[in-house]
Structure 1
């Protein structure tokens, strides 16, 4: 039965270019197979003939008989000539790169022709050997045993040639069938197996039959012993030959199964560099050709997907902000390392006005293209929602309601959103199931920001909490994804939060944050090689207080006293501070107000006066206005103009009347008090040029005035 298929019907197209088959190499292998098979077969015969003391063929061991060597040389010559005649059209097809169905048929039939031809040549060689050895005297009784033995050894040699030639010709047939014209003619898998085993069995039977004849013709009492040894040799040799054939076939199927397994294993090479190891002349060969078609189609899909993923990666990277940014007094360094070409981690930095911007980090469950698509949608949704105003908690709640129905139950998203007030150096931060951020303070201490909530996509009515963080110059705010924490080294040890905190504790104040981040991730890439998730890190560093940076920029235009006349009265700089009603907190704010005035008015010696007056005003607001309630806030607002500085100190109290507090009698009473706490208004009155009180929508305030006067 023949199995005919056309690979062109299955979608395989002819590949242009020359065949990757070396014709001299194939020819050399075929000749080597022929010589090797003859050598093995004749060696086995010589060993067996020695075991029975040359009783099989006596004359081949004559000292002056060169016929055996001539016989072997003649057989090899005839086989090579036959090979050249039968395979010449195949060589033409390979060299000219033209399609030839006849070439495929010749290659597939050649091992079977070789099997029959070797048996006939062996019989002919034995017949001629007997005729020459007996000097032309041939007798029927004496001719039966050599012919039977010759047929047995010829079958043995033929089976070796048949098996090994099929193996040598396998890649040639595959290339012709696949690359030339896509034509396949197959012989059922049972035929080569049946032929091999039947010929092996027949060769053993013939050899044993010859030994039986020899034993019956001998009258030596040791003849059975020698014949038995030769029979055992024939049986062992036949088993080895059958085992060799079975092993070759098993290796072909095992190679095919291994190729299929490698194809489906994640991360394996799906290219055509590995061809299936199977004979193309049977059902296994058909399976191999189908497998090659599958490889080709997967490679095409793989290359197409690779191009799409590269494009998606470019689009994704374009959607993300630059990795290094400077916004006012803040320096931002962000790094996104997807596990595959595209990933589900995202971050964003978005301006919300002159002195406000938002920072966001997120992690979509899953990896690859689905996570990347959801990541892109999330990024667009976040940018839309954050511009609608509202706190970070409100933004997360709106995004959660939008995404709960769209995402279903298959995906979840963790997000962390911070809105930075660059004037007050505060961060409003809210988290939707994201990992707790860290603050690395300038002095080296690490603070973990506690926040817990459900990820987006679980509860449509989820309410998110937010916290307000205060940054000082030199502080760093760190956001990250779980791919960083879950990274593993070669020993399987996880990086963990301990590793993260050790790394953050080693950071030095003043180091370039981008260089620090790059060095950190480079060390992780080298040591933690078993990570299988995206990794994203965002570091926000407050380099300098906003008010000081702006004051220095504004004051840089004023370098000498003559420039004062060029300033207009309407030009001023303003900044606010907020502090809890706790004694001792007034020192930092009063020092910053004094530094602000000294920066704008470098020629005026008012820094200590302003600092002392503001400190007394804040302590007065904490003690009398807010009654030392730490939950109540004191707000200090400073406005430095060209000729006048106005400082307002707000509290939550009921207030007092300045004309009563400023009266001579009241001042005299305060001077006579032994308690220095009663001297606050006296100091304020003596240090400031003027002060008053008032109330607006923010509460009660004390207002201090300082005039710009040159030294001396």
Structure 2
């Protein structure tokens, strides 16, 4: 039997012609029914009538709807069951191990902040043999590496603290070796002197010194040892001691530096050298004898105006054996000043690597030409700090200022 789904009116033409029509399933005016029409004819073929039957489809439609609904409910239930099983399985296989590893890592880090790491990661166990197992093994290796790194770091930190304490002691020892009590000679009215050193590290290679050679002669020393840190500081101690020990009354300063150079070369396994300037002022005459071993030119202040003295430097100390040094002489008048320094002053750099320079130093000295030696040194240090600002200090900053106030009274003309 053929079926035709649609309006019954669409096949009326076939009925009038006496043709057989298929079953009609309709949901329009008469509801869900099956209408069957079959022509009844005589033997001669004359149409006598139709045999028609209508069968209600409501029960069929309800059964179909119930079937579809049941199928959907079953599918939804099966899907929900599978979803729950998937969630439980996923949580058990993936989420729980990851949470355990995350918690163990957090506990490990928290214990590290308190100074003692826990063994939470080491006790982790993952039964799977997939990427989670690899991740767990990686965490365990990471824990071992971190423990080893932290232990090494603690040892290094303890060693640095020990070395820092020793360097701090060395810095105090070094500072105590340099004259640091001012006024240095309060009983002497002939001169005023002030010096200061700011090391770039815990201990530096720069040094200064001043001492009375005898009652009439004042010696000043300014020097810079190559390198920084403990080796330079130790070499500084040797150099300072040798210069002072060999500066004796009446001895030529060129000979002093020649002997000091020879002795330094004998004990210079580190290959260090010293640039140094030494001068001896005759307090009775103002005569200033000096020797320069590769050091910066001093500034001489006359009538409150400073100018760099054109002095040809000799070779550095401890650079080459059997070097000869020639002494020079300057005349200081009453009221004149001398400013000596190391290259850490003129080579101080700002954040843009600009140099402080000789010209700026000269301007500051001239601006404070009438001040005392201490005020002059402090003014220069303030100007350097203002220039470099927050830039790190790479070299020691050392300076010394001497003012010749008056000649020693009571010296006869022939003695001068």
TM-score normalised by L of structure 2 = 0.72
Which SS does the other structure have where 2:305 is aligned? coil
Which residue among 311, 318, 324 is the counterpart of 1:457?
318
1:303 aligns with 2:161: yes
Which residue among 396, 399, 403 is the counterpart of 2:260?
399
Aligned to 1:515: 375
Aligned to 2:291: 430
C-alpha spacing 1:292/1:472, structure 2 compared with 1 (3 Å): same
| Aligned-residue CA RMSD (Å) | 3.4
Q: Which runs of 5+ in 2 are unaligned?
A: 1-71
C-alpha spacing 1:433/1:195, structure 2 compared with 1 (3 Å): farther
C-alpha spacing 1:173/1:400, structure 2 compared with 1 (3 Å): same
- Structure 1 residue 375: deviation in Å? 0.9
- Structure 1 residue 519: deviation in Å? 2.7
- Structure 1 residue 281: deviation in Å? 5.8
Distance 2:103 2:129 in 1: 15
- Structure 1 residue 391: deviation in Å? 1.5
1:527 aligns with 2:387: yes
TM-score normalised by L of structure 1 = 0.44
- Structure 1 residue 436: deviation in Å? 1.3
Which residue among 105, 116, 119 is the counterpart of 1:167?
105
C-alpha spacing 1:199/1:58, structure 2 compared with 1 (3 Å): farther
Decide whether the 8 Å contact of 2:107 with 2:120 is kept in 1. no
C-alpha spacing 1:179/1:465, structure 2 compared with 1 (3 Å): same
C-alpha spacing 1:472/1:313, structure 2 compared with 1 (3 Å): same
Distance 1:391 1:449 in 2: 21
1:418 aligns with 2:255: no
- Structure 1 residue 367: deviation in Å? 0.8
C-alpha spacing 1:58/1:173, structure 2 compared with 1 (3 Å): farther
Distance 2:210 2:74 in 1: 95
Aligned to 1:537: 399
Distance 1:56 1:358 in 2: 110
Which SS does the other structure have where 1:381 is aligned? helix
1:575 aligns with 2:408: no
Decide whether the 8 Å contact of 2:275 with 2:295 is kept in 1. yes
Deviation string 1:661-691 (CA, Å, 9 cap, x unpaired) is xxxxxxxxxxxxxxxxxxxxxxxxxxxxxxx
Deviation string 1:60-98 (CA, Å, 9 cap, x unpaired) is xxxxxxxxxxxxxxxxxxxxxxxxxxxxxxxxxxxxxxx
Distance 1:142 1:463 in 2: 102
Aligned to 2:24: none
Distance 2:261 2:415 in 1: 40
Which SS does the other structure have where 2:289 is aligned? strand
Distance 1:488 1:162 in 2: 55
Decide whether the 8 Å contact of 1:416 with 1:431 is kept in 2. yes
- Structure 1 residue 481: deviation in Å? 0.5
Which residue among 362, 365, 390 is the counterpart of 1:501?
362
- Structure 1 residue 462: deviation in Å? 0.9
Distance 1:56 1:514 in 2: 100
Which SS does the other structure have where 1:366 is aligned? coil
Deviation string 1:434-480 (CA, Å, 9 cap, x unpaired) is 11111111241514232222101122111112211001122111111
C-alpha spacing 1:196/1:419, structure 2 compared with 1 (3 Å): farther
Distance 2:114 2:368 in 1: 65
Decide whether the 8 Å contact of 1:433 with 1:454 is kept in 2. yes
Distance 1:174 1:348 in 2: 51
Which SS does the other structure have where 1:456 is aligned? coil
After superposition, where does 1:39-78 map in structure 2 within 5 Å?
Answer: 58=76
Aligned to 2:201: 340
Decide whether the 8 Å contact of 1:438 with 1:449 is kept in 2. no
After superposition, where does 1:431-446 map in structure 2 within 5 Å?
Answer: 431-446=292-307
Distance 1:165 1:397 in 2: 73
1:319 aligns with 2:181: no
- Structure 1 residue 370: deviation in Å? 1.1
After superposition, where does 1:169-568 map in structure 2 within 5 Å?
Answer: 169-172=107-110, 174=112, 178=116, 186=122, 197-198=131-132, 282-322=140-180, 324=182, 325-326=184-185, 327-387=188-248, 390-408=251-269, 410-509=271-370, 511-528=371-388, 529-544=391-406, 546-547=407-408, 550=409
- Structure 1 residue 507: deviation in Å? 2.1
- Structure 1 residue 56: deviation in Å? 11
Deviation string 1:135-176 (CA, Å, 9 cap, x unpaired) is xxxxxx996675345413544432541342133221355589
Deviation string 1:22-58 (CA, Å, 9 cap, x unpaired) is xxxxxxxxxxxxxxxxxxxxxxxxxxxxxxxx99994
- Structure 1 residue 638: deviation in Å? 8.7
C-alpha spacing 1:175/1:332, structure 2 compared with 1 (3 Å): closer
C-alpha spacing 1:435/1:179, structure 2 compared with 1 (3 Å): same
Distance 2:128 2:284 in 1: 90
Decide whether the 8 Å contact of 2:104 with 2:120 is kept in 1. no
- The structure that has the greater radius of gyration is 2
Decide whether the 8 Å contact of 1:339 with 1:533 is kept in 2. yes
Distance 2:313 2:73 in 1: 96
